[in-house]
Structures are given as structure tokens and as C-alpha cells.
Amino acid sequence: MDKLRPELCVRCRGGRYLCGLAYCPLLARRLSAPHRLGAVRELRGSSPPSLFVGRVGYPKVWVYPAAPPELGDTTIYEDPARWLGFPLERFIAMRLSLYRASLSLRVEDAADPPRALQEIQLAALSQRPVDAEVEFARKPRGAYLSEYAPPMGPAAPAKSLRFTTEPKLPRKAEELYGDRDVKAREAVAELYEAGLDVSYIARVLSAGALGGRRRRLVPTRWAITAVDKIVSDHLLERVKEMPEVDGYYLYARRAVGNLFIAILAPSRWAYEWGEAFEPHTVWNPGEGIEVEVDYELYGGRRDYPEIGGCYYATRLAVAEALLRMKRQAAAVLWREVYTGFTLPVGVWWVRENVRAMFREPPARFDTLEDALEAASFLLKIPIERWLAKSRLVHLLRSRVA
């Protein structure tokens, strides 16, 4: 741990192993804490529904349908919009009580699913909980923590798995599941336009239940980012046809151990997402502040942003807000993470907080400098640190100079 380089940890976030190790020592330390769940070999519970698809060993992957040891309405276990109202401790305890039954499958099995995978796909498509009976090959253990997906509880191979109630599929999802001519990208946009949230759509995409005749299981972390990007691309096609905002708008939201800031500026679409981590936070084991920023201009970007999945989760929330406003803008969004916030909870945390931030009234300013000055009083980290990293603010300043 002493040899970790904080600037690499912030870029890696437990998924790219930039330190050269075959595991993330930050996650290993947090997963070593005991999780007080009873050791079980059999489980009866209502899956919210919940599904996780791993990426290790791709194209052969582990598929994990999950359920808590609870029968009834468990939809709260998979409803990010409601999680913001929970203390983080309650949210984490709830998610860690999801027991995962693992099955080994090849990603191409989704094109012609065996019976077990077909049942998992139908459960993933359901809008209501599906009762499940699981016999584990051994006692489940461990937990799953990630920058991308919400936490999940212990796992073990499934000796047997049976869903005992019928899934209830939304009409549009049932239609697209049976349509082998609609491409996955189009299906994602159609599900969103039908009123289904991105968390549901990501689960369905991950289960290999969307797309043409060559459907594939999609690792969950890839599916989450893909859906955020596809939907935000879809919305931005309309946003880019709208007039620019008529001033500089400043939004802010405080959450547990976090501050979110947004400035909307009169301009054609452009976007910047930045995150600053104080010492001893989720991805910063060091003693100094680490700041990461990435951006795009009107034409978008072709490469994957170094800053990770929160880039597209936030981009989606911005696109939704601009569409409601019927305006386009250059959007500068920064997040500060403060000492004590040490557990990754998934990109839903950022997406839902930014969504909530844009539902609050903003402060309006006539100049960019006035908006930045107001933001500086809210930020804990000196704004000079932010401006040194920000490319989009530099470009906006050059246009108004």
C-alpha cells in the first residue's frame, strides 16, 4: 500500500490495474472488512430483479442473478432514484445482502440461450420482483465493490436455480426481446423513450436480451457506460438543434462527503467533467489532492475518457436537463470528494445526484467570471486547482475575451 501512486489510483479506479498488480489493493482492503451475513447453502428470496455479469475471462464470463433472503416487494434493491434518500450505511447494508448465484457461460450463448440463461433473461426483463430458489454449491462469501456497479453481497456457484413466479415485462421490452432485427443501440433508445430508466436498460443489455441475431452477454460495467453514452448521444441530437442558454447558470448540490457544481454557459454544446479527491478518499490513498478532468466539444469524442464511467453518467444527466430547458450550452461540471468518503458505490451515485442538482433552481450571472467567483465560495478545493486542469473554461474565456 505504501508504494501506491495516488495519481494512478485516481485514473485506474480499481479496474485497469495501472499499479501493475493483478488486483486492486484499495478494494482488497475494504473487502477485508467482515460483512455480517449468515452463511447459507439454500436461499429463497425475491430477486428485485438483480443481475451482474462479470468481465474476467471474457468471452467466457460469470453471470450472477441475485436476491436477498426476503420474499415480497424488493424493488427498492434496484431503484437508484430512491437510494438518494437513504443514509449510505443503510444503502450499502441493503445491497450487500444480495446473495449472488454464479453460472459460467460464454457471451455468445445469449444468441441462442440455454434454458437457464433464458430464464435469467426473462427475470432481468421483469419490472417486478421474481421469486427465486437457489441451492449453492458451497457457502457464499465475499462482496463486490466497483466504481461502476452498485455493491453486491456474497457469491457462490449455483448448484440449482429456479424462478418460481412469472416475470412481468414492460410491453416495449417484451416487443424488443422478441425482435431480432432491431440493433442494440436502437433498442436502448426505444426503451428509454418508452419511459424505462437507464438502470433497467443496462441490466437488460447486460443479460444479452437486446440486439439482432448475434446477441451477446455484456459485462455489467460495460453495459452501464454503453447505455449512458447511447442515451445521452440520442438526447444530444435534439439538444444541439436548440438555442443557447441566455446567461451563465450555476448549480450546486451537497451530498454525503461530496460537492457537485455545474456551470452552463451560452455556447454550442460542449462538456467537461472533473473530479477532485482529497487525501484518504475512495480512490486517493495519498496525502495530497488529486484532480482529474476530461472534456468534449460539439463533435464529441472518439476515444474513451480517461476519467471513467462517471463521465457518461453525468453527461446523460446534463443532456436530460438541457432537453427539459429546450436549450443547449457548454456545461462545466466538477465534483469534489472529501476525506472520509472511502467506499465506491457505483456511477448511479453521480448520475442521480447530478439529476437532483438540475432539478433545483440555479443562480444566474451575466458573465463567466461572476459565475466562477460564486463557484469559488462553494468549492473547498481552491478554484485555481480546478482552472489549472480545466480545458473548457479556458476555451470559454478565450471566446469572451
Shared domain check, 159 and 289 = no
The pLDDT mean for the chain works out to: 92
Shared domain check, 187 and 285 = no
Residue 306 — very low, low, confident or very high, per pLDDT cuts 50/70/90? confident
Where does a domain end: 234, 265, 290?
Answer: 234
Report yes or no on 25 lying in a domain.
no
| Over residues 150-164, mean pLDDT | 96
Shared domain check, 195 and 64 = yes
Residue 284 — very low, low, confident or very high, per pLDDT cuts 50/70/90? confident
Supply the range of the domain harboring residue 182: 34-234
Shared domain check, 327 and 280 = yes
Report yes or no on 28 lying in a domain.
no
pLDDT digits (tens, 9 = 90+) for 376-388: 999 999 999 999 9
The pLDDT value recorded for residue 150 is 95
Residue 34 — very low, low, confident or very high, per pLDDT cuts 50/70/90? very low
Report which residue type is found at 111. A
The pLDDT value recorded for residue 31 is 47
Between CA 310 and CA 62 the distance in angstroms is 24
Burial environment of residue 56 by CB neighbours within 10 A (0 to 12, 13 to 18, 19 or more): exposed
Q: Where are the beta strands (DSSP E) in 208-289?
A: 248-255, 258-265, 270-277
pLDDT digits (tens, 9 = 90+) for 42-70: 999 999 999 999 999 999 999 999 999 99
Report yes or no on 13 lying in a domain.
no
Does residue 15 register a pLDDT over 80?
no
The H or E element spanning position 377 is: helix 368-378
Helices 198-206 and 220-239 meet at what angle, rounded to 10? 130
Number of domains in the chain: 2
The pLDDT value recorded for residue 8 is 67
Where does a domain end: 207, 234, 261?
Answer: 234
| Over residues 94-104, mean pLDDT | 95
Shared domain check, 284 and 216 = no
Q: Are 46 and 132 in contact (CB under 8 A)?
A: yes
| Over residues 28-54, mean pLDDT | 75
The H or E element spanning position 291 is: strand 290-296
Report yes or no on 9 lying in a domain.
no
Does residue 23 register a pLDDT over 70?
no
User: Under DSSP, is residue 356 helix (H, G, I), strand (E, B) or coil?
Assistant: helix
Comparing C-alpha atoms, which of 86, 101, 375, 342 is closest to residue 248?
Answer: 375
Does residue 196 register a pLDDT over 80?
yes
Between CA 222 and CA 66 the distance in angstroms is 19
pLDDT digits (tens, 9 = 90+) for 205-222: 999 999 999 999 999 999
Report yes or no on 23 lying in a domain.
no
Shared domain check, 257 and 213 = no
| Over residues 132-158, mean pLDDT | 93
Shared domain check, 288 and 216 = no
Residue 270 — very low, low, confident or very high, per pLDDT cuts 50/70/90? very high
Shared domain check, 168 and 70 = yes
Shared domain check, 91 and 222 = yes
Does residue 29 register a pLDDT over 70?
no
All cell numbers assigned to 67: 436476491
Where does a domain end: 174, 205, 234?
Answer: 234
Does residue 2 register a pLDDT over 60?
no
Report yes or no on 16 lying in a domain.
no
Residue 72 — very low, low, confident or very high, per pLDDT cuts 50/70/90? very high
| Over residues 5-33, mean pLDDT | 56
Shared domain check, 197 and 48 = yes
Shared domain check, 323 and 178 = no
DSSP 171-222: HHHHHHHT-SSS-HHHHHHHHHHTT--HHHHHHHHHTT-SSSTT-----HHH
| Over residues 181-202, mean pLDDT | 97
The pLDDT value recorded for residue 104 is 98
Does residue 272 register a pLDDT over 60?
yes
pTM score, two decimals? 0.91
Shared domain check, 195 and 84 = yes
The pLDDT value recorded for residue 282 is 79
Report yes or no on 230 lying in a domain.
yes
